[in-house]
Chains A and B, each alone.
Chain A
Amino acid sequence: GQQLNQSPQSMFIQEGEDVSMNCTSSSIFNTWLWYKQDPGEGPVLLIALYKAGELTSNGRLTAQFGITRKDSFLNISASIPSDVGIYFCAGLNAGNNRKLIWGLGTSLAVNP
């Protein structure tokens, strides 16, 4: 099935550093979602984006809906140990609103 290209696949950073990850698609999306999955848990929605160019924050997290509607970015500022986990992007293709398309995730490790 279709998947989003999410990068980087993994990151290992020092506490306090900023983090950036992104998600790209070959087709146009009309919704972008960012989730975080802690070990042994299900994904939890962090930020939802619905309009091209939209920039939305949730605490230290900021996400943007790319103006081409084919990409999205998630930034985490001043990382802390509890930011550890897998971050997934997901999107609704403009041509198929019933199924979320998922990225493979970015695994984040934070060294205290």
Chain B
Amino acid sequence: DSGVTQTPKHLITATGQRVTLRCSPRSGDLSVYWYQQSLDQGLQFLIQYYNGEERAKGNILERFSAQQFPDLHSELNLSSLELGDSALYFCASSVEQVSYNEQFFGPGTRLTVL
């Protein structure tokens, strides 16, 4: 158990809908990272927040947005969903702002768009 929690574990929805994925980092971790994992693209970095502020952006679509709240939990919002958005979405956390050697991953949310 990494200490990072993600909810829900599974999510099934229809095209055009909007969903929110939630992540709680390990106690004491200030950075949260969001990743998308699909079969043909591997792990794709989406976005990073550090202590409530956006710190780095990856291949995140404009239909997707995220935020980190004062209690440090984070939410990833996916809107106007398309079939191709079906994937595993992972959240990871670390203590430092740039600490890729100590990034702890949650169990993921499996999103299926029908």
A92 to B7, CA, bound (A): 29
Q: A43 touches which one: B44, B48, B105 (CB < 8 A)?
A: B105
- Please choose the segment from B14-22, B63-71, B76-84, B95-103 that sits at the chain A interface, where 4 or more of its residues have CB less than 8 A away: B95-103
The answer to whether A3 has its CB under 8 Å from any CB of chain B is yes
For B100, the chain A residues whose CB sits under 8 A away are 31, 33, 90, 92, 100
Q: Are A103 and B42 in contact (CB under 8 A)?
A: yes
Nearest A residue to B90 via CB reads A42
Least Cβ distance of B25 to chain A in Å? 13
Q: In the complex the two chains form, is A1's CB within 8 Å of B105's CB?
A: no
B2 at the interface (CB under 8 A from A): yes
Contact A45 B102 (CB under 8 A): yes
Chain B positions 21 through 37: 1 when the CB is less than 8 Å from some CB of chain A, otherwise 0: 00000000000000000
A40 near B56 with CB under 8 A, answer no
Interface flag for A97 (CB, 8 Å): yes
List chain B residues, Cβ under 8 A from A40: 107-108
| Contact, CB under 8 Å: A1 / B56 | no
Q: Is B4 an interface residue (CB 8 A)?
A: yes
B106 touches A42 (CB 8 A): yes
| Cβ of B22 to closest chain A Cβ, rounded Å | 15
Chain B 44-78, CB-CB to A under 8 Å as 1, else 0, gives: 11001000000110110000000000000000000
B101 touches A48 (CB 8 A): yes
CB closest chain-A residue, reference B97: A98
Sorted from nearest, which 4 A-B pairs have the closest CB atoms? A42-B105, A104-B42, A98-B56, A102-B43
Task: Please list 10 pairs of residues, one from A and one from B, whose beta carbons are closer than 8 Å in the complex, sorted by A's number.
Answer: A1-B45, A40-B107, A42-B105, A43-B90, A44-B2, A45-B101, A50-B101, A98-B48, A99-B45, A104-B41
